[in-house]
Amino acid sequence: EVDPLTGELLAERKEVNVYPASHYVTPQDKLKAAIVDIEAEMEERVAEMEAEGRILEAARLRQRTTFDLEMMRELGFCTGIENYSRHLSRPEPGSRPWTLLDYFPPDWLLVVDESHMTIPQVVGMYKNDRTRKEILVDFGFRLPSALDNRPLTFEEFEGHLNQVVHMSATPGPYEHERSQRTVEQLIRPTGVVDPIIDVRPTDGQIDDLMEEIRLRTERGERALVTTLTKKMAEDLTDYLRELGVKVQYLHSEVDTLERVAILRDLRLGVFDVLVGINLLREGIDLPEVTLVAILDADKEGFLRSSWSLIQMVGRAARNIGGKVVMYADRTTESMAAAIDETNRRRAIQVAYNTEHGIEPTTIIKEIHDINERLRSVAERTVVYTSEREELAGRALTLDNTKAIEKLVARMETEMRAAAKELDFERAAALRDEIQNIRLRVLEQDASLIVGRAAERAASTRGTGLVGAADRKRGARRDEAAAEHQAFEVMSVTVLPAGEEPGDTVDADGHIADEDGTTDLNTAADWLPGIRDEHEDTGRTAAWRDRPTWDRTVTPNVRRRTGTRPGSRRR
């Protein structure tokens, strides 16, 4: 049993209970009643399927439900137990589920960010879930009662609302119909206006795009290019790269964290052009971008709707030199609507700047990394890392050991203080650094212990041990020593703080009895600081603890120490 924060070894257990990550608090009496109801529904549904000739679906349903019931009897839960919520919570069939919205006060305020995307997702939650569950029920994967494990319908969601603020640059029909008032926030504090939109023919569009990119790269600016498909984005990226353009692509198959890194690299100038599809829209704030090129802008559809085009145009509205180029052979209704709305907003912004004497200024925004907080934690512990490396690089001496103990004590104090302040990232980083220090020192100490044991074993053998005057007794000792097999240190274990092995180690690392003589009957006698232990699998050696450390166990350290010496008789 190990403390998850400090890495401290709390106890050694022969048995351990592993519980699920999710905990359910249904009382046993309700669970037993639910099991009875589930069995009854299963029998009814299986009989219905068998009557319809759906033998395979009936057998599948019986097998899966029986397994879930057995898990509930034995463990109190099963995978997907939420699908039996009607029987466990006992609501009325088809009733509205309880959600966090039920706990809000009556006068609560809801702010919906990017409402043109959020509202349709709320509408689709129930419909998507219902469609999926009906398929599972029809094919015998779930009981019909699983349909009651569902999200709110949009009508039920609206029933919880009190006051709502929809925020969007492109509000949809729902927001316009339900809103009592529309407030336009078109004026930016920096005075930057919406970009100019230029529509160009598709003939020679790549060559024209290359020229626009060249102009931006010469000025140290960035460009975004949007395509319709992933394949087109990748092919265009490869083509531009062959022409010497520093380019990267971004689409849904790129990992989320990698997307953040790609956007950061774009701002840093690692590459100058980013090719994307539908991700270069809401929430992308790139002040360095001065060009947004939209390929196939005249292809009507979801990716080229009026509000999609307006969102893409907005990516160039962070820089005073922002410009949008739409490559199209005709002007669609969506293009016309997007261009008209952008021009309307631009006219209002220009008029306001002129009236108030505002000079547009490009947004200045720091470049952050998603791992910045973790790196800041590491930077705050770098002093310990450097100290550890400096100490570990020197030979292990008494002074060095004391310095390491002081370092570990200081780090443990800071780790516990960080945990008390709920700064768990820093506490975890300090914990890992402490473990690294312990491991390296333990390995170094283990090598010294084993080396000293080998030297001691070698010095014990031979006539030089007792002098040349009694060679017969020396020979007998050599024979006795040869009978002992070589002793192998299987592991080095730090004992709990305050626990003593029992023997006293002298200045030379030898274990001395009360009368000053040395007995060599156990591993603790000839491995200084080691306590001898016996197990079915052989011998292990436990190393005495350092006073400032709590508990820890190192990985196995295997060293051949040579022939184990015999016992020296008094």
**Pair (210, 338) in one structural domain:** yes
Question: Contact 488/476 with Cβ under 8 angstroms?
Answer: no
Q: How far is CA 490 from CA 98, 173, 459, in A?
A: 57, 73, 23
Q: Residue 201's domain is classified under what CATH number? A: 3.40.50.300
How many secondary structure helices (H) and strands (E) does the chain include? 17, 16
**Pair (308, 406) in one structural domain:** no
Tens-digit pLDDT profile for residues 166-190: 999 889 899 989 888 889 999 998 9
pLDDT of residue 389: 53
The pLDDT confidence band at residue 551, using thresholds 50, 70 and 90, is: very low
Question: Contact 40/468 with Cβ under 8 angstroms?
Answer: no
pLDDT of residue 360: 92
- Residue 270 domain-assigned (yes or no): yes
Q: Which residues contact 263 (CB under 8 A, 6 or more apart)?
A: 250, 274, 284, 286
- Residue 81 domain-assigned (yes or no): yes
Check pLDDT > 80 for residue 237.
yes
The Cα–Cα gap between 202 and 294 comes to: 11
Strand partners, 538: 535
pLDDT of residue 447: 56
Task: Name the residue with higher pLDDT: 12 or 470.
Answer: 12
Q: Minimum mean pLDDT among 73-87, 482-496, 544-558: which range?
A: 544-558
**Pair (108, 57) in one structural domain:** no
Tens-digit pLDDT profile for residues 188-212: 989 999 999 999 999 999 999 999 9
**Of the candidates 136, 127, 37, which has an alpha carbon nearest to the alpha carbon of residue 88?**
37
Tens-digit pLDDT profile for residues 265-291: 898 889 999 998 877 777 788 889 999
The Cα–Cα gap between 206 and 395 comes to: 64
The domain in which residue 406 lies consists of: 401-448
**Of the candidates 146, 150, 137, 149, which has an alpha carbon nearest to the alpha carbon of residue 48?**
137
pLDDT of residue 134: 95
pLDDT of residue 372: 58
Q: How far is CA 237 from CA 43, 207, 225, 258, 304, in A?
A: 58, 14, 10, 17, 21
**Pair (443, 351) in one structural domain:** no
**Of the candidates 43, 40, 49, which has an alpha carbon nearest to the alpha carbon of residue 86?**
40
pLDDT of residue 464: 41
Nearest 10 degrees: CA dihedral of 92, 98, 101, 107? 50
**Pair (248, 157) in one structural domain:** no
Question: Contact 491/537 with Cβ under 8 angstroms?
Answer: no
Of 37, 63, 90, the domain-final residue: 90
β-bridge pairing 289-294 and 538-543: unpaired
Check pLDDT > 90 for residue 388.
no
Check pLDDT > 70 for residue 64.
yes
What is the token pair recorded at 106?
A: 């009556």
**Of the candidates 294, 291, 324, which has an alpha carbon nearest to the alpha carbon of residue 196?**
324
**Pair (127, 80) in one structural domain:** no
Of 356, 390, 418, the domain-final residue: 356
Tens-digit pLDDT profile for residues 523-550: 333 333 444 343 444 444 444 333 333 3
Mean pLDDT throughout 130-150?
Answer: 94
The pLDDT confidence band at residue 480, using thresholds 50, 70 and 90, is: very low
Q: Minimum mean pLDDT among 150-164, 226-240, 454-468: which range?
A: 454-468
**Pair (202, 349) in one structural domain:** yes
pLDDT of residue 455: 56
**Pair (204, 83) in one structural domain:** no
Task: Name the residue with higher pLDDT: 331 or 16.
Answer: 331
- Residue 561 domain-assigned (yes or no): no
Task: Name the residue with higher pLDDT: 100 or 11.
Answer: 100
Phi, psi at 268, each rounded to 5°: -75, -15
pLDDT of residue 206: 92
For the chain, the average pLDDT equals 77
Task: Name the residue with higher pLDDT: 496 or 60.
Answer: 60
Of 73, 90, 107, the domain-final residue: 90
Question: Contact 212/223 with Cβ under 8 angstroms?
Answer: yes
- Residue 568 domain-assigned (yes or no): no
The pLDDT confidence band at residue 373, using thresholds 50, 70 and 90, is: low
What single-letter DSSP state applies at residue 284? -
- Residue 533 domain-assigned (yes or no): no
Task: Name the residue with higher pLDDT: 152 or 375.
Answer: 152
**Of the candidates 302, 319, 330, which has an alpha carbon nearest to the alpha carbon of residue 223?**
319
Q: How far is CA 226 from CA 74, 146, 328, in A?
A: 55, 42, 13
Cα diameter, the chain: 115
Question: Contact 150/129 with Cβ under 8 angstroms?
Answer: yes
pLDDT of residue 426: 83
**Pair (158, 200) in one structural domain:** no
**Pair (334, 214) in one structural domain:** yes
Helical ranges in 381-519 per DSSP H = 382-393, 398-420, 424-460, 471-483
pLDDT of residue 279: 72
On the 0-12 / 13-18 / 19+ scale of CB atoms within 10 A, 197 is: buried
**Pair (143, 260) in one structural domain:** no
Check pLDDT > 90 for residue 435.
no
Question: Contact 383/429 with Cβ under 8 angstroms?
Answer: no
pLDDT of residue 445: 58
The pLDDT confidence band at residue 490, using thresholds 50, 70 and 90, is: very low
Structure pTM? 0.58
Task: Name the residue with higher pLDDT: 21 or 174.
Answer: 174
- Residue 468 domain-assigned (yes or no): no
The Cα–Cα gap between 292 and 80 comes to: 46
CA atoms within 13 A on the CB side of 409: 9
DSSP 173-237: HHHHHH-S--------TT-PPPPEEEEE-STTHHHHHHHHHHHHHHTT-EEEEE-SSHHHHHHHH
Domain count, the chain: 4
The pLDDT confidence band at residue 400, using thresholds 50, 70 and 90, is: low
**Pair (239, 200) in one structural domain:** yes
- Residue 405 domain-assigned (yes or no): yes
- CA distance from start to end of the chain: 44
The pLDDT confidence band at residue 238, using thresholds 50, 70 and 90, is: very high
For residue 563, the SS3 value is strand
- Residue 32 domain-assigned (yes or no): yes
Q: Which residues contact 145 (CB under 8 A, 6 or more apart)?
A: 38, 41, 83, 84, 86, 87, 93
Strand partners, 540: 533
Mean pLDDT throughout 110-126?
Answer: 93
